[in-house]
């Protein structure tokens, strides 16, 4: 799991999701697609670092939410 000191940029929240750019590619578990990923960009859900989405799941969730609203 990424640590807070690895964060180099935090993007504005979109709903309950917020993306964070890390200083280096990091292994993490995406709780939406249930896959282990390696990336510099992770998305926290409700501000919880133990509930992360990969960029693909962030985009899919955002598209689904915005078209449904």
Q: Express as a percent the part of the chain with pLDDT over 70.
A: 93
Answer yes or no: are the C-beta atoms of 32 and 61 closer than 8 Å: yes
Rounded Cα distance, 25 and 15, in Å: 25
Rounded Cα distance, 5 and 8, in Å: 8
> In the predicted model, is pLDDT for residue 69 greater than 60?
no
Q: How does pLDDT run across 13-40, given as a tens digit for each residue?
A: 999 999 999 999 999 999 999 999 999 9
> In the predicted model, is pLDDT for residue 2 greater than 70?
yes
Give the pLDDT score at 3: 72
Mean pLDDT of the chain: 92
Compute the average pLDDT of residues 38-52.
Answer: 97
């Amino acid at each position: 799991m990424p640590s807070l000191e690895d964060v180099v940029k935090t993007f504005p929240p979109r709903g309950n999701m917020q993306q964070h750019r890390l200083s280096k590619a990091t292994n993490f578990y995406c709780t939406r697609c249930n896959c282990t990923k390696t990336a510099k960009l992770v998305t926290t859900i409700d501000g919880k670092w133990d509930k992360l989405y990969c960029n693909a799941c962030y985009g899919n969730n955002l598209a689904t939410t915005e078209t449904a609203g």
